[in-house]
Amino acid sequence: MASLVGMQAAAQSAKPVEVAVTIRADQPGVKINRNIYGQFAEHLGYGIYGGVWVGEDSKIPNTRGYRNDVVAALKQLKVPVVRWPGGCFADEYHWRDGIGPRDRRPVKINTIWGGVEEDNSFGTHEFLDFAELIGADAYVAGNVGSGTPQEMSEWVEYITSDTKSTLAEMRRRNGREKPWRLPYFGVGNETWGCGGNMRPEYFADQYRQFQTFIRAPRDNRPERIASGANVDDYYWTEVMLSQAARHMEAYSLHYYTVPGRWEDKGKSTGFPEDQWASTLKNALRMDELVTKHSAIMDRYDPGKRVGLYVDEWGTWYDPEPGRNPGFLWQQNTLRDAQVAALSLSIFHRHAERVRMTAIAQMVNVLQAMILTEEEKMVLTPTYHVFEMYVPFQDATFLPAEFKSPQYTHGDWSIPAVDVSAAKGTDGRLYVALVNSDPNRGAVLTTKIAGATAGKVSGRVLTANAMDAHNTFDRPNAVKPAEFKAQRKGDQIVANLPPKSVVVLTVE
Ligand code: AHR
């Protein structure tokens, strides 16, 4: 049997694959809605408490209770939209618990996530002010599972009304004179599961009823987002679209990437190459899901008026030993960076229908951007991908033509290379190149049809180990570095290391 050292040496000496790429700058596609870079923040573990909100009296530096370090890091990402308060938590959340003086708010049990006390100190005002602070749009998810149309309707009025109604006056007494902007409102969450265990026929009627009472001023009327399908439940989509398409502006889809089975997902670090390969293979399934759900939507909404919002996606691993399993805390490695890059590339390709997504989740939960522990904060490899990809927000999609060789490991086989390109709002061209093979480099020779390439600069995210990650002791183990591409006439030659993500800027 070959020794591990021998195998690594062989891997390092493997000859790079060569791939020819053509970027069709002469065939621009649609705008990549910046909301594709959205985030999800739930009352779950340290996602809100400790991660975003520490309260005004905390010794952790904060602005009106929000962690300064986290706020600054999120501003760098230009987070376009944040979904809150859940997830499953949304269907047990009653908004009146989270307004008024904090010391008088009721303490509830977060029955879905760890059975911990929820003191409601982060409520409607705290969320909407937070969204304003980081410059993001607010996406509030309403309670269908254990709420009523009246409760939902009054929440929307409390947030959006500029009248002298009792609810608007209550908001003013609680410290907010002017209404907040409320661009997005979700009607239910996973109503097929934690949101009520409904059948699609039943939820379609519930949806029609609840959305009727989302009444807001004309200039501040939120998009109505219908709770959608779980993974490949195409029947759910069929029923919802056929019964309720005209009552929605968007329809959601949830899909999580798990290396193994739900009962035995796999670890977030210290995993074998087999799970590197299975994770990326499963992440790529997003393309099939989006394609098939979109095809159903096309039948009922050929004009693509209704957006497909993938408002929960990302990796989900086994609970970390020693941590509350209900808190869904996991490390985030170079593998997660690959999942992020490949998923974003899929969303770019489907930008005509996919006009919002929300990665799960923003801080300390699942595939997080940021991990915190008391006063310490660390940025994850996923954060770095989102930061490198900022220029893709609102950019114009440009098709990329290439034929990728396969990366194969055991039973798993995926394209080794992925390319996504766009023309940024600043007029520059951005090309994201992903090499998913952990053992072999890739030489990508790119020509741009319909444009002349000038100066090229780049950044790369890579590391030696598949599970390389940042810790509070070594916060910069994985971070972007300068990447130099070569020019060969009108072509750009990029020598991608194994397991890397590169973004080129072409002037
Ligand atoms: O993101 C964690 C949970 O996953 C959400 O609360 C729920 O909607 C989904 O099942």
Classify burial at 416, counting beta carbons within 10 Å of its beta carbon; exposed 0-12, middle 13-18, buried 19 or more. Answer: buried
- Measured distance CA(141)–CA(188) in Å, rounded: 7
Of 126, 154, 157, 190, which is the active-site residue?
190
Q: Evaluate if residue 11 carries a pLDDT over 60.
A: no
Q: Answer yes or no: is the C-beta of 435 below 6 A from any ligand 1 atom.
A: no
111, 192, 194: residue to mutate for ligand 1 pocket, most atoms within 8 A of CB: 194
Taking only the tens place, the pLDDT of each residue in 284-320 is 999 999 999 999 999 999 999 999 999 999 999 999 9
AA letter at 455: K
Confidence grade of residue 12 (pLDDT, cut at 50, 70, 90) = low
Q: What is the CA(500)–ligand 1 centre distance, in A?
A: 29
Q: What is the CA(454)–ligand 1 centre distance, in A?
A: 45
Taking only the tens place, the pLDDT of each residue in 451-474 is 988 899 999 999 999 999 999 999
Q: Answer yes or no: is the C-beta of 252 below 6 A from any ligand 1 atom.
A: no
Q: Is 312 a catalytic residue?
A: yes
For 376, the token pair is: 């310490």
- Of ligand 1's listed atoms, the one at least distance from the Cα of 189 is 8
CA atoms within 13 A on the CB side of 1: 2
Closest CA to 400 of 453, 351, 449: 449
- Measured distance CA(15)–CA(292) in Å, rounded: 37
Q: Is 288 a catalytic residue?
A: no
Taking only the tens place, the pLDDT of each residue in 46-81 is 999 999 999 999 999 999 999 999 999 999 999 999
Contacts of 474 (CB under 8 A, 6+ apart): none
AA letter at 296: I
- Measured distance CA(88)–CA(122) in Å, rounded: 17
Q: Answer yes or no: is the C-beta of 379 below 6 A from any ligand 1 atom.
A: no
Question: DSSP class of residue 385?
Answer: H
- Of ligand 1's listed atoms, the one at least distance from the Cα of 195 is 8
By the 8 A CB rule, do 357 and 38 touch?
Answer: yes
Question: pTM for the complete prediction?
Answer: 0.96
Q: Answer yes or no: is the C-beta of 190 below 6 A from any ligand 1 atom.
A: yes
